[in-house]
Structure 1
Amino acid sequence: MPRFAANLSMLYNEHAFLDRFDAAAQDGFTAVEYLFPYAFAADEVAAKLQAAGLQQVLFNAPPGDWEAGERGIACLPGREAEFAAGLAKALAYAQALQCPRVHVMAGLLPQGRTRAQLRPTYVANLRHAAAEAGKVGVNILIEPINERDMPGFFLNRQDDAHALVDEIGAPNVKVQMDLYHAQITEGDLATKIRRYLPTGQVGHLQIAGVPERHEPDIGEIHHPYLFKLLDDLGYEGWIGCEYRPQRGAVQGGTSQGLGWLAPYLRK
């Protein structure tokens, strides 16, 4: 049976961030993910996880200046020292939160630069990340993101992400396969799951309804089919629920839109 993690950056926004842990646990989630924990002390977040009986399964390394529009710096020449410092901070949080995965966002293409020009910087930074994360038992994840939601993002396609994992050659660098982004960019999700899951290079999955990024039972993807496929293929990892609640927003809270999840909760 699939295991689902609540994305606390998108779900339960009717609560203050530190109150979202209890809200997720009360709805039956046993794990959480989110974008960034750095606005809070690591021990404060760890206490919330422990009190709610939750596992932390994923968060992102510092992305540069998020408020100014940066979406990662891993592919940006000249930012290597900043990348290394951010990674060190992320790994310290990962240890404190007992989180086995850190997502490293690639970044946006600077004006006039091509992906081919930026690729050596990206590969070098990921190799550094892999070596440092390996010392503390953490996996580094890279995620293809669609260009409709994030124009100019360096990494967009599953095949490119897996080629990068092959090139880097570190066992703890894996792909964060977000089916929402994959559907928008490429489609053919079941075939891609069958192709890439057996490689062992998929370190995490995420879902949302397409095209509006609402609950997984809203939109063009038939998620129950994909959940059964993941079971059939023996996937034992987590599936992050990274969507913007529509029903919950209308009906008074995230919990009101979780009917799709009920058949999959462990009793």
Structure 2
Amino acid sequence: MPRFAANLSLMYTEHDFLDRFGAAARDGFDAVECLFPYDVPAAELKARLQDHGLRQVLFNAPPGDAAQGERGLACLPGREAAFREGIERALALAAEIGCPRLHVMAGIAAPEVDHAWLRECYLANLDWAAGHAAPAGIELTIEPINTRDIPGYFLNRQSQAHAAVVELGRPNLKVQMDLYHCQIVEGDVETKLRHYLPSGRVGHLQVAGVPLRHEPDLGELNCAHLFDVIDELGWDGHIGCEYRPRAGTTAGLGWWRQRPA
């Protein structure tokens, strides 16, 4: 059975953020992820993880100026200094709380800017970030995201992400494969799992029901079957539950509890 991590930014929102750690542990999770935990002191995050026997397996590097619509800086020429400051901040937090993995968001590409120039900036920033993270033993991930949820997002397809990872050749740079985004953009998710998981380039998986991003057993994606495929392929990482519960987090965990041990 795959290992699952509760996403504490989308799940357990019926609780205050710091209380979500205990709620996830009570429901049986032993790992968590979240989006941007920077408003909470690192010591407090570390204490909650330790108190509840949890491991933080992923969080996002800072997205830039989110209030101004930025969703990552990696592909944005002229924002390199802010990108590096964000990576350094994220690496410091990851080291303090023992998180082995950071998601680096690509950013929103302005349609009037030449794509080749954006990609050159993107690769240069990723190369710097991966090199900076390697001595700390921290893995970076890049995630294709659908443009319905984030219009204009630079990275959308699995093939684009894998091409970047192959081109840079950094062992600690991996793809974050979210089955929800993959289904919306490309479909044929089982075939893509069978193609990409054996490559060793996938560092993290995430899941949600399609199209409404509720529990994985709701909607058009047969996640129970895909979990069996992931088992068959010997995946030993975590699957982040990055979904919005339809009517209470604990009440909606039947999809997980019915999985065989």
Q: TM-score, normalized by length of structure 2?
A: 0.98
Distance 1:186 1:217 in 2: 20
Instruction: For residue 206 of structure 2, give the secondary structure of its aligned residue in structure 1.
Output: strand
Say how many residue pairs are matched. Answer: 261
Aligned to 1:107: 107
Query: Does 1:257 find its partner at 2:256?
Result: no
Shift of 1:66: 1.3
Question: How far is 1:265 from its partner?
Answer: 7.4
| Aligned partner letter, 1:149 | D
Q: Following TM superposition, by how much is the alpha carbon of 1:111 offset from its aligned partner in structure 2, in angstroms?
A: 4.2
Q: Which amino acid aligns with 1:179?
A: L
Gaps of 5+ in 1: none
The runs of at least 4 consecutive aligned structure 1 residues that moved more than 4 Å come to none
What stretches of structure 2 of length at least 5 have no aligned partner? none
Cα separation, 2, equivalents of 1:182 and 1:69 = 23
CA distance in 2, matches of 1:154, 1:145: 8
- Three-state SS of the structure 2 residue aligned to 1:218 is coil
- Corresponding residue for residue 85 of structure 1: 85
Q: Which deviates the most, 187-196 or 256-265?
A: 256-265
Taking a change above 3 Å as real, the CA distance of residues 265 and 107 of structure 1, as seen in their structure-2 partners, is farther
Q: 1:21-45 CA distances to partner (integer Å, 9 max, x unpaired)?
A: 0000000111000001100111110
Query: Percent of aligned positions with the same letter in both sequences?
Result: 62
Deviates more, 1:30-39 or 1:60-69: 60-69
- Tell me how far apart the structure 1 counterparts of residues 127 and 188 of structure 2 sit (CA, whole Å): 30
Find the counterpart in structure 1 of residue 15 from structure 2: 15
Which secondary structure state, in structure 2, belongs to the residue aligned with residue 264 of structure 1? coil
**Residue type at the aligned position of 2:200:** G
RMSD, aligned CA: 0.9
User: In the TM superposition, what are the counterparts of 1:131-170 in structure 2 within 5 Å?
Assistant: 131-170=131-170
Asked if 2 retains the 8 angstrom alpha-carbon contact of 1:206 and 1:239, the reply is yes
One-letter identity of the residue aligned with 1:31: A
Q: Where does residue 50 of structure 1 map in the other structure? A: 50
TM-score of the pair, normalised by structure 1: 0.96
Work out whether 1:62 is the aligned partner of 2:62: yes
Is contact 1:95–1:136 with CA below 8 Å preserved after alignment? yes
CA contact (8 A) 1:2 1:264 kept: no
Q: Quick one: which amino acid aligns to residue 226 of structure 1?
A: L
